[in-house]
Amino acid sequence: MGSITNHHAAGRHAAEAVNIGVLALQGDFAEHAASLRRAGAQPLEVRTIDQLQHVDGLIIPGGESTTIARLLIAYDLREPLIALGRRGLPIWGTCAGAILLAEEIITLDRPALHLMPMTIERNAFGRQIDSFEAHLEPGPFGSGDIPAVFIRAPRIRSVDDAVHVLLRLGPEHDHEPVAVQYQSILATTFHPELTADTRIHRHFVEMCQQRARPSARTNARTGEAHATLGRLG
Amino acid sequence: MVVETATQTVKAGLAQMLKGGVIMDVVTPEHARIAAEAGACSVMALERVPSDIRATGGVARMSDPSLIRGIIDAVSIPVMAKVRIGHFVEASILEALGVDYVDESEVLTPADEAFHINKHQFAVPFVCGCRDLGEALRRIAEGAAMIRTKGEAGTGNIVEAVRHMRAVQGAIARLQQMGDEELVSYARDIGAPVELVRETREIGRLPVVNFAAGGVATPADAALMMRLGADGVFVGSGIFKSQDPARMANAIVRAVTHYQDDDVLADVSTNLPQAMSGIELSDIPEPERLAKRGW
């Protein structure tokens, strides 16, 4: 099966050329940085507007969504981040990050980024004792289940038709989506950075490479990248 | 599909989500809202902040469930609450209330002088205090999914938290120079399981998240603990015993995010409201020192 994993192998040598930022206001940004290194990329902690201008992609980590949303506003990062996202900067949000990317957020008391046409509900599985681990069917990510850790996780309640669902939970959760992509915006309600599996990090590195390298961008236009995305859908 | 709850990954994982953040002691729902508004990543619900516990004396116990429920209802961020060392029934009650993390805390009066709680038996994760590496690893062996320094709570004096953080970090640095033959003797000397000592040597840090606690009173205190290697900071009496809690809370949150940026630290430290007055450690008689509780 044509997979993101195989597709990535060709581009691995170039991974060090892209700078992938990890928003380091609060949360498990160090875990994301470690996963990026294992995926062959160079992570950069981002706390200021200046640092934001030097990245080819950005991860918004897990953490407290109310805290990160507040700090984005307090440190004047929210507007620049929205502008960069609209211009096609690859942005991936995990858990709290996924919440902040959503257009509609059920019960968040402050504005976020509105970059992904979906509705998400915070803490929707319950409190911490309801947090869980599951193994997901790998879908476009090759063979072998994907280990997924859900911590006070949000639930994606609805997505726009233009959003590709990459991964879903099993039948006991009505196959609800847990990893979705819309153009250059990626969202997962679980935490790939808490496991040794780097497939989703490698996928994001590749999204950043396609944007950073003109040749890759040409490939994207001629269909290679779109073919990949087509398989994702 | 197999779905598993209450695994170590899930318990330790919530602490990982709190990293780079500030956990604030609150005694009312109104405090909890102020803390969340200021950017706290979690709140610790209790009846009296440590400086008041110190002032009032008597036996300090788990808070009344109505207070904890009120705080859970007031905010959407995770809520922690304290139980006495060894008091596994108080812990069961907090688990039933839906608390997100239980702090088995020396700030309350110990219920058991021989044993800490067997934390593996609970679905709710626990955070415990430590003064050195051995104590941290003993608590992890009992099932703690998060560690904090003990410091000396309710004093507004950072000196003990610094001592405890340096003890842990210094021991980990020495551990990384040790060969296998030294490791077993070292584990015996510090009273910790050899497997956890080995894991700590391999990864070069505690196997779970490690916050600073006990005596943080200013943004500079919080940044100091971050630079000494803390993953985040608990602030007890330091916020709601200051003259302007909302401003102090904002300043400490900002100092923890930007702990390496001296310009930001100078900015948030300027014209701050009066911090809590604080107590010199030598003015506290030995039996009244909270850090001595637990082992």
pLDDT digits (tens, 9 = 90+) for A33-81: 999 999 999 999 999 999 999 999 999 999 999 999 999 999 999 999 9
CB within 8 Å: B13 and A151: yes
CATH topology of domain A10-232: Rossmann fold (3.40.50)
What distance in Å separates the CA atoms of residue B4 and residue B23, rounded to the nearest whole number?
28
Instruction: For residue A161, count other CB atoms closer than 10 A to its CB.
Output: 5
In the numeric block, which tokens belong to residue A47?
């706390």
Q: Residue A8: which of A132, A98, A140 has the closest Cα?
A: A140
Please tell me which of the candidates A128, A133, A191 has its beta carbon nearest to residue B7.
A133
In the numeric block, which tokens belong to residue A142?
């090759």
Residues of A in contact with B101 (CB under 8 A): 128
What distance in Å separates the CA atoms of residue B198 and residue B176, rounded to the nearest whole number?
9
Residues of B in contact with A130 (CB under 8 A): 5
pLDDT at A214: 60
Would residue A164 show up in a list of annotated catalytic residues for this protein?
no
Length of chain B in residues, anyone? 295
- Residue B289 to chain A, least CA–CA distance (Å): 32
Name residues whose C-beta falls within 8 Å of residue A218's C-beta, 6 or more positions apart in sequence.
none
Contact B250, B222 (CB under 8 A): no
DSSP, collapsed to helix, strand or coil, labels residue B10 as helix
In the numeric block, which tokens belong to residue B295?
């082992």
Model confidence pLDDT, tens digit, residues A114-165: 999 999 999 999 999 999 999 999 999 999 999 999 999 999 999 999 999 9
Q: What's the pTM?
A: 0.93
Contact B232, B209 (CB under 8 A): yes
Q: What is the ipTM of this complex?
A: 0.95
Number of A/B CB contacts below 8 angstroms equals: 124
Would you kindly state where each structural domain of chain A is located, as residue ranges? 10-232
Contact A123, B76 (CB under 8 A): yes
Please tell me which of the candidates B6, B16, B21 has its beta carbon nearest to residue A67.
B21
Residues of A in contact with B77 (CB under 8 A): 64, 66-67
Length of chain A in residues, anyone? 233
For the annotated catalytic residues of B, the residue numbers are 82
Contact B84, B109 (CB under 8 A): yes
Identify any residues that bridge with B23 across adjacent strands, giving them in sequence order. B42, B234
CB within 8 Å: B17 and A132: no
Mean residue pLDDT across chain B: 96
